[in-house]
Amino acid sequence: MKKRIAIFASGSGSNAQKLMEHFKNNPEVEIALVLTNNPDAYVLQRADNFEIPSHIFDRHEFYQTDHIIDLLKNLDVDLIVLAGFLWLIPKNLINEYPGRIVNIHPAILPKFGGKGMYGDHVHNAVMAAKETEGGITVHYVDENYDEGEYIYQAKYRIDKDDNLEMIKFKGQQLEHLHYPRIIDGIIKKIKK
């Protein structure tokens, strides 16, 4: 029986695509569903390209109902992977999938984490702080933004001439290289 992953994303979904590519022909793991809070998110097109079903939801459905949990359970989802998903995960979802929700953050936590710290907000804060290193953190999700247990961190050097685009590029290279590999390792350990 295949292990099944659900991906939550709010935007373009480049990490989601790397996961889709990684697991495309895997006989043991499949991406069962892509979920988004943004009906205009490009991740929907990426999911369609891989013939992966998707689901768009609003705040009411996510926070006031158990519909998302029912959907995940009906699909027999084993692991939830956040790939640029911007909303705080509700307690009922965390309780239903304890230790089975994973996120990637574009900085070395605990620095530059928390509410509102995503995408360019993180990279601009890193530049404003004149950091000499940037990086990524893969971590388990709890009820607070970016506070769950760390799984993996990787760093890159920030040169003094690096602009926002260079820092984003360096970070994304690390994300695309490591996230599929880390998720692969986590899902292999989950018992069906």
178 is catalytic: no
pLDDT of residue 11: 96
User: What homologous superfamily does CATH list for 3-108+136-153+174-189?
Assistant: Formyl transferase, N-terminal domain (3.40.50.170)
Report yes or no: 98 and 89 within 8 Å, Cβ to Cβ: no
pTM flag (> 0.85) = yes
pLDDT digits (tens, 9 = 90+) for 36-69: 999 999 999 999 999 999 999 999 999 999 999 9
Q: Which of 32, 39, 41 is nearest to 6 (CA)?
A: 32
| 29 strand-pairing partners | 3
Exposed, middle or buried, 125 (CB in 10 Å: 0-12/13-18/19+)?
A: middle
Question: Degrees (nearest 5) of the Cα angle 157, 158, 161?
Answer: 140
Report yes or no: 81 and 7 within 8 Å, Cβ to Cβ: yes
- Residues with Cβ < 8 Å from 31, sequence gap 6 or more? 4, 5, 6, 7, 19, 20, 23, 50, 52
pLDDT below 70 — which residues of the chain?
A: none
Catalytic residue among 55, 105, 123, 139: 105
What are the two backbone dihedrals, phi and then psi, of residue 23, each rounded to the nearest 5 degrees? -100, 5
User: Both tokens of residue 25?
Assistant: 């022909």
Query: Distance (Å, rounded) from C-alpha 81 to C-alpha 182?
Result: 11
In angstroms and rounded to an integer, the radius of gyration of the C-alpha atoms of the chain is 16
pLDDT of residue 162: 96
pLDDT of residue 192: 79
